[in-house]
Structures are given as C-alpha cells and as structure tokens.
Amino acid sequence: MTNEELQQLVMKISANIFNKPFMHEAYFNNRLKTTGGRYMLRTHHIQINPTSFELYGLEELEGIIRHELCHYHLHIEGKGYKHRDKDFKELLKMTNSPRFCANLVSTKRTTRRISHVYGCMSCGLLYRRKIRLNTSKYRCGKCSGPLMKVE
C-alpha cells in the first residue's frame, strides 16, 4: 500500500464513520517501532507504522486509523483527545475503534553481550563481564587471588 492509497483510506474512513472530513496528511512512517500509529498535535498529520499493516493486514490497519482519527477529530473540536479523557473513551466505543493495537515488539529476550572475561590466577574461576574492570582493584570472590584478563 502506498502513502496515496493510505491517504484515500483515511479520508474514506473519516467520512463514513465520523461523518467529518479529514483535511490533513496521513502517511507511513518506518521509524515507528512500538506503536501502530501516531497523531501529531502540531501538524494534525497521522503517521502509521507499515509493520502493523504487513503483519496483521487491512483490518488491523483500519482499526489503527479509526483510533488515530478519534484523536484527530476530538483535538480539532477542542475536546478531550487523550487516552484518559472521557470524550476519547466514548468516541472509541461509538466508532468501534480499538483501544490498543496488536503487539509489534517481539517478546523474545535479547542475550546479554559479554565482551570481557577475567580469570583468577589462583583457582582458575572465570568471570564474564559486559563492562571492563580494574584488575588491580578487584580480587577473586572465591579465593581472594589476583585476576587477569583472559579475553
């Protein structure tokens, strides 16, 4: 889907569901990582995460657009447009808009990068550390022997 097609879709949803015109720009923003979309207060533009469309399809995209249009129309009218506002929650229900988008961030934990390995010169115990340590300041916790950088 191109930005022009997205613009037309947002204008169509705004006219059909909200019965109000969308007079600003809607476009994809590849830099959005954790959210499905974003309404910009100063410019009134709507940015959409293209990953949400690629992963979950048109139905999820339309839900995100409806959610962002709730922010848009309430802000233009001077009503409560924030997630915690009563006006916003009521408009979400009226338009059948989702409160949250589908999860975009993987829940897989990243492994810790270990770049420094130290060994005890007496007992041979290894210490793996992300941050470099001063071997003249620290000793082995097991036998109090001196430490030496292994890798």
Q: State the catalytic residue, choosing from 25, 68, 77, 90.
A: 68
Cβ–Cβ < 8 Å for 64, 56: no
Is 54 annotated in the active site? no
Q: Is 113 helix (H, G, I), strand (E, B) or coil?
A: coil
- Which two three-digit tokens encode residue 35? 């959210």
| Residue 139 CB contacts under 8 Å (≥ 6 apart), including other chains | 145, 146, 147
Q: List b or e across 95-111, with b for residues whose CB sees 16 or more CB atoms inside 10 angstroms.
A: eebeeebeeeeeeeeee
Distance CA 115, CA 30 (A): 32
The residues annotated as belonging to the active site are: 68
